[in-house]
Amino acid sequence: MKTEPKLYEQQLYEIWKNQCFTSELHTKSGDEIKVLDVGSLNIDYAGADFKNARIRVGNLTYVGDIEIDVDYNNWKSHGHNIDSKYNKVILHISFFNKHKQPFVYTKDGRKIHSICISPFLHESFKNQFGKEVESKIKRKENSLKCSFFIENIARYQKEKFISDLGIVRFKRKCDRIYKRLKELKFLQEHNIKEPVIRYDLTEAFQKRVFTHEDFKTRDLWEQLLYEMLFEALGYSKNKTIMLHLAQSANLEFLRKLGNDSDFLTRIESALFNIGGLIPNVEELPEEGTSAYTKKLAAEWELLKRIYDGKTFDETLWHFFKLRPQNFPTVRIAGGTRILKKLMYGGLIEIMIKKIREIRHLPVLVNSLRSLYVIKSEGFWQKHYIFDKPSSGDIKYFVGASRADEMVINVILPFFSIYFDIFGDESMAKKILMTYNIYNQNAENKIVRDVAESLEMTSYLKKTVYQQGMIELFRNYCSKGKCLECRIGKVAFN
């Protein structure tokens, strides 16, 4: 799904919608483009910018979508060329096209006219628009309203509030994991397979008081961790579909695939086919189809006989505006290696042993992180998508930054719940202490902008503050709850 368009992109939408051109549009080769219907603006942000447009290029009339980008290169950098949602595009429009490229290509290989509209606009608009693009890119879009008054707030007040919010966010993750654990217990007791069958948790189940005896089954914890890890591997764009994939291709099914030298091939075949990401090899050219892709397709012909769950469509996955390293294909490849550790490598037991035995918390952090840094290998070392080699080798399926996110958002809350349920108070406290001292290198735009607004950039690497800043922005700043915020109350009073 697209993010909401920036203001300068919206200006281009208005130009297209109102056809504010100084002359008739034409292609690089000189064919006139007659706009019969500009189409309707896509307010859902999934797919091209304008739907159901009609244009005539030369003597041919086309019906389909219009995609508008600030720069010609955005077509590839935003992933439109590998996203089937853009297969219906009939015209690509950009404001900048440095190398005057006349075409773009869709995922299905169709060639589309690309036109640079700068020559068809008034000079005054072109000059002003260029300046606006530059200034808006530099502007802090997530700056806080209180940033102008932040010098009136004592540092300890900011530190305490942001730290408290970081703990609030951690406990919310714990609550969510515990809720899912109880749901898995419900599914187990009632022999329900999800997500095919809908179910409602009974009133008796909602009121039930659980004890550690209810959660002694190892399968519950492994399925729970599998789901949470795959959701985290999906990052923000693909976390929901990754979670649903783990729920459909659950461990009960995956254990039927056996454990031998071909385990990874079979599990990749299952996940890519159930996820709908593998292409139909019968429609691919023989000379362009890898042996790996053929092998996965052949394996699935056998595996699908024992799979009775849900399968998904390729359009549910998002590649738009993702770095290739974050493509779901690469993440699933990394996920299969983690799954092997979880199913047959004693991953949970290894982590429990580390948490119990490693006393120095920074060492514990490094040790937990290292379990989730997955080096690349095989087919996916040289591919981001099926049968289109990457320009260079992929070093990691899961790098240190993503491993940090998994430890922070999944592993620590998971074991906080685990030790709490089994009455190990000292280990539960150790988990919270680990979270409080955790330092990570990665940061995102929200965290950076909030830190700059609060004059707290020195706290950017500390996880508890990072999480607190995200909590502040999402649950206070972005919702205009300034006077419900401890910082806002001081700033505006």
What confidence tens digit (pLDDT) does each residue in 179-237 have?
999 999 998 888 877 655 556 777 777 788 899 999 999 999 999 999 999 999 998 89
**Residue carrying the six token digits 């075409």:** 103
Q: How far apart are CA 50 and CA 65, in angstroms?
A: 6
Question: Is-contact 377 134, C-beta < 8 A?
Answer: no
DSSP-derived 3-state class of residue 473: helix
CB atoms within 10 A of CB 169: 23
CB of 42 closer than 8 Å to CB of 50: yes
Is the CB of residue 89 less than 8 Å from the CB of residue 47? no
Q: Report the C-alpha gap between 133 and 111 in whole angstroms.
A: 29
> How far apart are the C-alpha atoms of 206 and 209, rounded to whole Å?
9
- Over residues 43-98, the pLDDT tens digits come to 876 789 999 999 999 999 999 999 999 889 889 877 899 889 999 999 999 988 88
pTM surpassing 0.85? Answer: no
Over its C-alpha atoms, the chain yields an Rg (Å, rounded) of 26
Distance CA 68, CA 74 (A): 9
| Cβ atoms of 195 and 310 closer than 8 Å | yes
Per-residue pLDDT of the chain (493 residues), as tens digits, is 454 455 567 888 989 999 999 999 999 999 999 999 999 999 876 789 999 999 999 999 999 999 999 889 889 877 899 889 999 999 999 988 888 999 999 999 999 999 999 899 888 777 777 666 655 545 444 467 787 677 778 899 999 999 999 999 999 999 999 999 999 999 888 887 765 555 677 777 778 889 999 999 999 999 999 999 999 999 889 999 999 999 999 999 999 998 888 999 999 999 999 999 999 888 777 776 899 999 999 999 999 999 999 999 999 999 987 889 899 999 999 999 999 999 999 999 999 999 999 999 999 999 999 999 999 999 999 999 998 899 889 999 999 999 999 999 999 999 999 999 999 999 999 999 999 999 998 888 889 989 988 989 999 999 999 999 999 999 998 888 988 999 988 877 6
pLDDT of residue 133: 63
User: What is residue 60's three-state secondary structure?
Assistant: strand
Instruction: Classify strands 111-116 and 103-105 as parallel, antiparallel or unpaired.
Output: antiparallel
Give how far Cα 243 sits from Cα of 10, 76, 166, 275, Å. Answer: 33, 27, 24, 11
